[in-house]
């Protein structure tokens, strides 16, 4: 798949790259193998990985660690350009062995801290990321697992639907009921199985996806905060600003200024 890599940070233990993959057909890639542990954090676009007999859905919040020497395949789930952060351990780095893929869902505050760290800090490139990961890290059979039971299949489809709606950023309102309708079950039942599988509410997950996109839009140079709030489906700039400050820890204007630099 055609791609462009930009090195954001490098030190003796880790390398951090921003990877732009051009729009490609939604089909599986050839099989690849990494020579050292590699974390993939999508920020734009939706994709699926197949590794160690598991299917893992990667959206704007989910991070996947690929074990050394384990074959994997990937495919885009949207025919659009995709952007990811890739955190790669240097060959020979002293890390605990990982024989199966690990996945976690990152909070918007962690995504914000990583962006700041990778833009100018001279310390350990992976420090803020690795501090955030252990809180929700688990095998691929957990929060990011592919469809298995009927409940987990619905959670998978709900996550995919929400990620696609968020990436559309068309200002059209949508709710948890729309998600339930898309997966053909009641909102009550979906809320129950979703929390069982992810540890989060549907509303909380949806909000985190929106804030992750807001961060990316600000980093891409967005200056119209009112327009950003409208595109993400918030009723006003002040509404988005209040949620953003609570979950990220800074105001929209502060984030815009910091990421612009």
| DSSP string computed for 37-67 | -EEEEEEES-EEEEETTEEEEE-SSEEEEEP
Burial class of residue 134 (count of CB atoms within 10 Å of its CB; 0-12, 13-18, 19+): exposed
Average pLDDT for 213-227: 93
pLDDT of residue 139: 38
d(CA 215, CA 220): 9
Please, which residues bridge with residue 20 across strands? 4, 83
The pTM assigned to this predicted structure is 0.86
Inter-CA distances, 165 with 30, 161, 219, 233, Å: 28, 6, 20, 10
- Interval 61-91: pLDDT, tens: 999 989 888 999 999 998 888 888 898 888 8
Inter-CA distances, 27 with 57, 64, 145, Å: 14, 19, 19
- Interval 115-142: pLDDT, tens: 887 776 544 555 555 555 544 334 333 3
pLDDT of residue 170: 83
- Interval 151-196: pLDDT, tens: 689 999 999 999 999 988 887 888 889 999 999 999 999 999 999 9
């Amino acid at each position: 798949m055609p791609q462009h890599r930009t090195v954001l940070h490098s030190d003796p233990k880790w390398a951090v790259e921003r990877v732009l993959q051009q729009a490609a057909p939604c089909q599986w890639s050839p099989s690849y193998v990494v020579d050292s542990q590699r974390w993939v954090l999508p920020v734009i676009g939706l994709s699926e990985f197949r590794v160690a007999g598991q299917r893992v859905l990667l959206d704007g919040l989910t991070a996947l660690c690929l074990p050394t020497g384990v074959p994997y395949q990937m495919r885009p789930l949207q025919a659009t350009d995709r952007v990811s952060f890739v955190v790669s351990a240097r060959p020979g780095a002293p890390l605990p062995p990982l024989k199966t893929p690990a996945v976690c869902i990152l909070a918007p505050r962690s995504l914000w801290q990583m962006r700041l760290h990778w833009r100018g800090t001279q310390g350990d490139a992976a420090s803020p990321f690795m501090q955030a990961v252990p809180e929700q890290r688990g095998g691929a059979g957990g929060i990011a697992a592919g469809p298995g039971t009927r409940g987990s299949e619905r959670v998978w489809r709900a996550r995919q639907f929400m990620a696609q709606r968020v990436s559309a950023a068309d200002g059209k309102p949508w709710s948890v009921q729309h998600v339930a309708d898309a997966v053909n079950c009641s909102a009550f039942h979906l809320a129950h199985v979703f929390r069982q599988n992810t540890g989060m509410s549907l509303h909380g997950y949806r909000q985190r996806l929106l804030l992750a996109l807001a961060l990316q839009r600000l980093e891409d140079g967005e200056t119209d905060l009112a327009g950003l709030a409208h595109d993400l489906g918030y009723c006003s700039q002040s509404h988005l600003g209040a949620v953003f400050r609570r979950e990220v820890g800074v105001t929209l204007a502060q984030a815009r200024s910091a990421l612009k630099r």
